[in-house]
A and B are shown apart, each in its own frame.
Chain A
Amino acid sequence: MTDTAPQAAAAGAFAAPLASIASAAGSAASAASAASATPETEVLVRDLTVCFRTDRGEELPAVAHADLTLQAGLITGLVGESGSGKSTLALTLLGAVPSPGRITSGSVQLTGIGDVTRLKGAALRQVRGGKVGYVFQASQNSLNPLKTVGKQLLDLGRAHDVEYLPGLVRRARELCELMGMDGKRVLDSYQHELSGGMRQRVGIVFALVLNARVLVLDEPTTALDMLSQAAVLKIIGQVHKEIGLTTLIVTHDMGVVSELADRLAVMYGGRIVEDGPAEQLLRRPSHPYTRALINATARVTGDISRARALPGRPPDLASIPRQGCVFRQRCAFVMDQCATEEPPLDAWGGDIDNAGGSGRRRACHATPEAVIGA
């Protein structure tokens, strides 16, 4: 664990509150700027399948043959309705599967580490928090209610063999200030003494304090009121840029990621059905589900009267179609082929005006033109 806090101390804690953060992130930041020329990958999810055993003893996939690439230095949004498998997929970046689930195929490659799904014991613990910082879906309650934030920070440091704990505390305080909180006060507080928005930010501090390169935020705004939502989103964007992170934001709310994300991946029924650059995807969705999802979000369409709710309900594990396209029961473009053949997630040249190298993919039997033009 590299600890750069002594440098920050030399620079003067308040004169340059971000000194240690900036220097710690130096390499990552330069990697990010290099990324614009030749995109480097930070996370590579390949053919990942995660199954849960149901009461009836069947093993059903919550995530099926998912391919996802997180490019270094970018914010990727993972979007889909509740139950689409977003959290399950995101957790595998930590090599974690909620019991009683298990990974039945595929791998999750982290640059410089290898396949996290094969790690165990201490090596796995070091990745969790050390390399990948995770802000939990329920991060309102992600702290031990009986210990102060500071004491839990020390527990975190010890678990990751941080040699110079005062340095860790200093860095935590700096991160707090970066997010507009009084660092000392926060570290002396118990969870119940913090507001919802503050807890969310403390969750981000814990995810980043060990210099993780990858930040995963699972529904970072769901439990917050509109004002705190906006504040937290702004902070996420700032921190991402300032530290030069690779960020994955998981959300069911298109509006949350529409402004923040560089790339989007859309999930339905455990499948990634479309991904690509955020702007293109939002403006000209090429998959019927993406299209419906965007139309259902007033904040993206900018017009409440035009927002149309998605017909039907999102499926759960048992009701996801076993054959053909998973979206076909709710799809406006459905055709005969959709009932029998599952559409593969294929690279697609992209939009007419952005032809070539757009990195867009879609899984649908209907032609992109038909969906975009409709």
Chain B
Amino acid sequence: MRTLTRLLPKLAVGLVMIWAVATFTFFLVHALPGSPGDAAYENYILSGMSPEQAQAKVSSIYGFTSHDPLLVQYRGYLWRLLHGDLGQSISYSGVPVTHVLRAAAPWTIFPALAGLVIAFLVGTSFGAVAAVKRSSRWGGLLSMSGSFFAGIPVFVLALVLAFLFHTEWNLLPYGDTSDVTLTPGFNGPYVVSVVQHAILPVATYALLGYGAWLLTMKSSVISVLGDDFILAAELRGLRPRTRMRYVSRNAILPMFTVFALSIGYLLGGSVLVENVFDYPGLGNVLFQAIGARDYPLMSGAFLLITVAIVLANIVADLLYTVIDPRVRR
């Protein structure tokens, strides 16, 4: 019950955030002079269509009728949005945006999640070690590796990995999600190829998150190690193992906020990662949509990313609630 009352405001904020992004992209597309809808309409007129035809075509692509008053258009847009209709893509000539996104989403979600999980497990473990052994050489080296990967720009990391593992050592393939000569399906060679093609993007996501997890976990562990109750546990003669368990559980708590942040970070990073590896996920779709000024697709992708971040926040909050009795009550 408490969980629910705690979660409802979060949910409300999330919905408002989604609505705000939807509204923002709508007005970006429509309110600006020389909006893409108007431009397309004029193009159709110039190519000899009747105004009605041009109007119908524009409205079918952009999901609104561009000569209605703005507010009416906006209402229609929201209405269709509620029904899961994001309009039609321009660059994919009339394919519904939802289809484009649905095809691309798994190729971002699964590699990004895999990278996130790996980064979380390795980063927090190493962060804890770096904190406990902070005065030794190993601790110092671990911290340095964290700072290194936290500071390196995404596309540089992706390019270096692509260069080393593909161009230089020829260990891993890249480009697309699998070898295009194979037939997709649940057959051995295809699955192997998919996994091989995913390794570089996943590794990039993992290394991208690793540094941040390591550094935040390290500082969190150091701060918990300085807490009174850890000293008390030692002076009550508790086993080192028990003490370490106390430390790690308390230190992991602030990580859940990082978790929500890092989802947004990863999705943003996917634009560059997928571009480098020529991987047809959401990031690539967004990148191409921007290049082609495909506004319906763009706003659809933005919306999807917003929803993902809102969901991640709620999941993080739930996890927090499960582990922290002070919040749960």
Per-residue contact bits, chain A 115-145, to B (CB 8 Å; 1 contact, 0 not): 0000000001111111000101011111111
Q: Is the CB of A94 within 8 A of B235?
A: yes
**Contact assessment for A126 and B325 in the assembled complex, using a CB-CB cutoff below 8 Å:** no
Task: Name the one of B227, B237, B323 contacting A141, with C-beta atoms under 8 angstroms.
Answer: B227
Q: Would you call A158 and B239 a contact (CB within 8 A)?
A: yes
CB distance from B246 to the nearest CB of A (A): 5
- Please, which residues of chain B bring their CB within 8 A of the CB of A126? 237
User: Within 8 Å CB of B227, what residues of A?
Assistant: 141
Report B-chain residues with C-beta under 8 Å of the C-beta of A268. Answer: none
User: Cβ of B324 and Cβ of A128 under 8 Å apart?
Assistant: no
Q: Is the CB of A144 within 8 A of B246?
A: yes
Partner of B238 from the list A139, A145, A148, A155 (CB cut-off 8 Å) is A155
Q: Does A192 contact B (CB under 8 A)?
A: yes
Q: Is A134 within 8 A of B250, CB to CB?
A: no
Known: A141-B227, A141-B229, A142-B228. A159 touches B236 (CB 8 A): yes
* Chain B residue nearest in CB terms to A216: B235
Which residue of chain B has its CB nearest to the CB of A136?
Answer: B232
A127 with B326: CB separation less than 8 A: no
Residue from the list B229, B239, B250 in contact with A142, Cβ < 8 A = B229
Residues of A with C-beta under 8 A to B233: 144
Report if B102 contacts A (CB, 8 A). Answer: no
- CB of A206 within 8 A of chain B? yes
Taking residues whose C-beta sits less than 8 angstroms from the other chain, chain B's interface range is 20 to 34
* Cβ of B80 under 8 Å from chain A: no
Question: What's the Cα separation between A136 and B231 when bound, in Å?
Answer: 9
Contact with A along B77-108 (1 / 0, CB 8 A): 00000000000000000000000000000000
Is B133's CB within 8 Å of the partner chain A?
Answer: no
Contacts of B250 in A (CB 8 A): 144-146
Q: Are B238 and A159 in contact (CB under 8 A)?
A: yes
For the complex formed, measure the closest distance between the CB of A359 and the CB atoms of chain B, giving whole angstroms: 30
**Contact partners of A142 in chain B: CB under 8 A:** 228-229, 232
Q: Which chain B residue has the least Cβ–Cβ distance from A141?
A: B228
Say yes or no for B249: interface residue by CB 8 A criterion. Answer: yes
| In the complex, per-residue mask of A137-174: 1 if CB is within 8 Å of any chain B CB, else 0 | 01111111111100000011011100000000000000
On whether the beta carbons of B323 and A96 are closer than 8 Å, the reply is: no
Q: Which B residues between 22 and 70 are near A, CB-CB below 8 angstroms?
A: none
A333 within 8 A of B: no
Number of interface residues of A (CB under 8 A): 31
- Chain B residues near A148 (CB, 8 Å)? 325
Give A91's nearest chain B residue, CB to CB.
B235
Residues in chain A near residue B324, CB distance under 8 A: 146
Instruction: Decide if A146 touches B325 in the complex (CB within 8 Å).
Output: yes
**Closest chain B residue to A156 by CB distance?**
B236
Give the chain B neighbours of A124 by CB distance below 8 A: 237
| A259 to B239 alpha-carbon distance, docked (Å) | 38
Residue of A128, A190, A192 touching B236 (CB-CB under 8 A) = A128
- B238 close to A156 (CB less than 8 A): yes
Q: Are A129 and B323 in contact (CB under 8 A)?
A: no
Chain A CB within 8 A of B257 CB: no
The residues of B that contact A134 with a CB separation of less than 8 Å are: 235-236
| Contact present for A130 and B237 (CB under 8 Å) | yes
At the interface, is chain A mostly helix, strand, loop or mixed? helix
Measured CB to CB, the nearest residue on chain A to B252 is A146
Q: How distant is the Cα of A263 from the Cα of B169 in the complex, in angstroms?
A: 78
Cα(A160)–Cα(B239), bound, Å: 9
| CA gap between A206 and B238 in the complex, in Å | 12
Q: Which residues of A sit under 8 angstroms from B232, Cβ to Cβ? A: 136, 138-139, 142-143
**Residue pair A146, B249 in contact (C-beta under 8 Å):** yes
Choose among A127, A148, A159, A192 the residue with the greatest number of B CB atoms under 10 Å from its CB.
Answer: A159
Does B167 lie at the interface of the complex (its beta carbon under 8 Å from any beta carbon of A)? no
Given the interface contacts A144-B246, A145-B326, A146-B249, does A138 sit within 8 Å of B228 by beta carbon?
yes
Q: Does residue B223 face the partner (Cβ distance < 8 Å to A)?
A: no
Instruction: Name B233's closest neighbour in chain A (CB-CB).
Output: A144
CB-based contact B239/A159 at 8 Å: yes
Bound together, the chains give a CA A192 to CA B326 distance in angstroms of 7
CB distance from A11 to the nearest CB of B (A): 28
B249 close to A160 (CB less than 8 A): no
B242 at the interface (CB under 8 A from A): yes
A127: nearest chain-B partner, CB-CB: B237
Contact A129 B239 (CB under 8 A): no
Asked if A136 and B235 sit within 8 Å, CB to CB, the answer is: yes
Cα-based distance from A192 to B328 in the complex (angstroms): 12
Contact of B239 with A146 in the complex, beta carbons under 8 Å: no
Q: Which residues 222-256 in B have Cβ within 8 Å of A in the complex?
A: 227-229, 231-239, 242, 246, 249-250, 253
Q: Which of A128, A146, A155 contacts B235 (CB 8 A)?
A: A128
Q: Mark B198-240, 1 if CB is under 8 A from A, else 0.
A: 0000000000000000000000000000011101111111110
Q: Given A138-B228, A155-B242, are A146 and B323 also a contact pair (CB < 8 Å)?
A: yes
| Chain B residue at smallest Cβ distance from A125 | B237
Residues of B within 8 A of A141 (CB): 227-229
Interface residue ranges, A against B (CB under 8 Å): 91, 94, 96, 124-130, 134, 136, 138-148, 155-156, 158-160, 190, 192, 206
The 3 A-B residue pairs with the shortest CB-CB distance, nearest first, are A128-B237, A142-B232, A125-B237
Give me 18 other A-B pairs in contact (C-beta within 8 A), A140-B228, A156-B236 excluded: A125-B238, A128-B235, A136-B232, A136-B235, A139-B232, A142-B229, A142-B232, A143-B232, A144-B233, A144-B250, A145-B326, A146-B324, A146-B325, A147-B246, A156-B237, A160-B237, A190-B326, A192-B326
Which residues does B use to contact A, with CB under 8 Å?
Answer: 227-229, 231-239, 242, 246, 249-250, 253, 323-326
6 pairs of residues in contact across A and B, judged by CB atoms under 8 Å: A128-B235, A144-B250, A146-B323, A156-B236, A159-B239, A192-B325
